Amino acid sequence: MTLMRFPTRLLLFLSGLCTLIACSQTPVNEMKSKQATGADSSFEIRRTEEEWKKSLSPEQYYILREKGTERPYSGKFLMHREEGHYSCAACGNILFASSAKFESHCGWPSFDAQVNSRAIVMQKDSSHGMLREEILCGKCGSHIGHIFDDGPTATGKRYCANSVSLGFESASDKHLSGMGSTDTLVLGGGCFWCIEAIYRELKGVLSVESGYCGGTTENPTYKEVCTGTTGHAEVARIVFDPFKINAADILKVFFTVHDPTTLNRQGADVGTQYRSVIFYRNEDQKKLAQEIIAGLTKEKAYDGPVITELSQLGKFYKAEDYHQNYYSSNKEQPYCKMTIPPKMEKLEKVFGNLLKKD
- Give the residue numbers annotated as catalytic, written as ranges: 160, 191
How far apart CA 260 and CA 283 sit, in angstroms, is 21
First to last CA, the chain: 30
Rounded to the nearest 10 degrees, the angle between the axes of helix 192-199 and helix 247-257 is 130
**What's the CA dihedral at 39, 41, 44, 47 to 10 degrees?**
0
Parallel, antiparallel or unpaired: strands 233-240 and 205-213: antiparallel
Q: Which residues of 96-130 are buried (b: 16+ CB within 10 A; e: fewer)?
A: bbbbbbbebbbbbbbbbbbbbbebbbeeebebeee
Task: Calculate the alpha carbon distances from 218 to 65, 230, 238, 320, 340 in Å.
Answer: 55, 9, 22, 14, 30
How far apart CA 243 and CA 203 sit, in angstroms, is 11
Backbone CA torsion sign across 282, 244, 343, 288: positive
